[in-house]
Amino acid sequence: MWRRYLLLVKVCLLNERKRHKMNTLIIYDSTFGNTAQIAQAMAERLGEHATVRTALATEVDLTEMKEIDLLLVGGPTQRHGVSPAMRTLLKSFPRRSLRGVSAAAFDTRYHMDAWKSGSAAHRIASRLKRTGVLLIMPPESFFVTQREGPLEDGELERAARWAEEIFERFETSRSVQQDTAEARK
């Protein structure tokens, strides 16, 4: 009897997961278009699994962020840190306003050790932490050959693979959360 009940619960959970398509927002800044290309490659890959929206850092509407499951934020590394538009955006997020949202940060920069080049992604990740998000991947960098680009060969494909990995981690953490919630009932 209880086995049937458990099976029913599992079927209901699976149906619920199918019904709720992951809602993703990718926020990016880009001076010369390289980070925009990376964001687009991620959006295309995640679009196979989720509802995805991209927004420039200067165009983000904080009220639209309420329904998000997954947030990716990326920008160019400038002067060892984030670009001015990204800094303004990150400052505008109220503390603990994104609790329950899964997130990851990325940047574009020169291909050298991060302690030499700086990394916007690390700054973005530490700022995002204050909003209460769950960072499900370490910050990642994608490389340009020169200040204005282009990107190094293969970086768009690597960005798509990184996005896929984020999706897999998101699904795993969602399953664990749902199983835990179920076990508590």
Ligand X SMILES: Cc1cc2nc3c(=O)[nH]c(=O)nc-3n(C[C@H](O)[C@H](O)[C@H](O)COP(=O)(O)O)c2cc1C
| Footprint of ligand X (CB under 6 A) | 30-35, 76-80, 108-110, 117-118, 144, 147, 149
Crossing angle for the helix pair 84-92 and 120-129, nearest 10 degrees?
10
87 vs 167 by CB, closer to ligand X:
87
31 vs 51 by CB, closer to ligand X:
31
**Shortest Cβ distance from residue 34 to ligand X (Å)?**
3
Separation CA 162–CA 148 (nearest Å): 23
76 vs 101 by CB, closer to ligand X:
76
Separation CA 173–CA 93 (nearest Å): 24
**Shortest Cβ distance from residue 108 to ligand X (Å)?**
3
Using only C-alpha atoms, what is the Rg of the chain? 18
Separation CA 64–CA 25 (nearest Å): 10
With tokens 């990376």, the residue in question is 38
28 vs 93 by CB, closer to ligand X:
28
**Shortest Cβ distance from residue 31 to ligand X (Å)?**
3
**Shortest Cβ distance from residue 147 to ligand X (Å)?**
4
